[in-house]
Amino acid sequence: MIMKLLLIIGVISIVYFMFIKKKPENISKAKGAEKETKDADEMVECANCGVYAELDESFLSGSKYYCSKECLNAKK
């Protein structure tokens, strides 16, 4: 009798945790402060030579990204 009761409670708890319980949302989204962030490993194309470079290593001039200072100066 006790085994059946424990089995039923186990099945109900598995169903609850797998399907019914909602996972907590990101705190910043819950507050409504959705900010667009750039990933550190996001790649951008150089406007001069076409080489892809990481976003944090590239240079931004105007609205275009450049892979190096040489490409930035060559375009000016």
Task: Quote the pLDDT of residue 4.
Answer: 93
Is the confidence at residue 9, as pLDDT, over 90? Answer: yes
- Answer for the pair 29, 22: CB distance below 8 angstroms, yes or no: no
Q: Against a cut of 0.85, is the pTM above it?
A: no
Mean pLDDT on 11-19:
88
DSSP state letters, 2-67: HHHHHHHHHHHHHHIIIIISPPPPPHHHHTT-------TT-EEE-TTT--EEEGGGSEEETTEEES
Instruction: Give tens-digit pLDDT for 22-69.
Output: 766 665 554 554 455 555 578 999 999 999 999 888 888 888 999 999
